[in-house]
Amino acid sequence: MIKLHGVSKQYHSSGGSFQAVQDVTLDIQKGEIHGIIGMSGAGKSTLLRIMNVLEKPDQGSVEVDGRELNRLRGRALREARRSIGMIFQHYNLVYNRTVSGNVAIPLELAKAARTERNERVLEVLKFVGLLDKADQYPARLSGGQKQRVAIARALASRPSVLLCDEPTSALDPQTTGEILEVLRHVNRSLGVTIVIVTHDMDVVNRICTRVSVMENGRLISTQPVEVKPNE
Ligand X SMILES: Nc1ncnc2c1ncn2[C@@H]1O[C@H](COP(=O)(O)OP(=O)(O)O)[C@@H](O)[C@H]1O
Amino acid occupying residue 30: K
Question: By CB under 6 A, is residue 11 in contact with ligand X?
Answer: yes
Question: By CB under 6 A, is residue 46 in contact with ligand X?
Answer: yes
Question: By CB under 6 A, is residue 17 in contact with ligand X?
Answer: no
The answer to whether 198 and 204 are in contact (CB under 8 A) is: yes
184 or 218: CB nearest ligand X: 218
35 or 38: CB nearest ligand X: 38
Q: DSSP assignment of 157-226, as one string? A: T--SEEEEESTTTTS-HHHHHHHHHHHHHHHHHH--EEEEEES-HHHHHHH-SEEEEEETTEEEEEEE-P
Alpha carbon separation from 161 to 41, 104, 214 (Å, rounded) = 24, 19, 21
Query: Which partner from the list ligand X, Mg ion, none does 194 bind, CB cut-off 5 to 8 Å by kind?
Result: none
In three-state form (DSSP H/G/I as H, E/B as E, the rest C), the secondary structure along 148-169 is: HHHHHHHHCCCCCEEEEECCCC
44 or 117: CB nearest ligand X: 44
Q: Quick one: which segment of 34-42, 59-67, 71-79, 110-118 binds ligand X (CB under 6 A)?
A: 34-42
Q: Looking at 1, 9, 24, 45, which residue binds Mg ion (CB under 5 A)?
A: 45
Query: Which partner from the list Mg ion, ligand X, none does 31 bind, CB cut-off 5 to 8 Å by kind?
Result: none
104 or 171: CB nearest ligand X: 171
In three-state form (DSSP H/G/I as H, E/B as E, the rest C), the secondary structure along 4-63 is: EEEEEEEEEECCEEEEEEEEEEEEECCCCEEEEECCCCCCHHHHHHHHCCCCCCCEEEEE
The answer to whether 37 and 201 are in contact (CB under 8 A) is: yes
40 or 96: CB nearest ligand X: 40
Q: Looking at 45, 52, 100, 212, which residue binds ligand X (CB under 6 A)?
A: 45
Letters for 51-90 (x = contact with ligand X by CB under 6 A, - = none) are ----------------------------------------
Footprint of ligand X (CB under 6 A): 11, 13, 18, 20, 38, 40-46
Footprint of Mg ion (CB under 5 A): 45
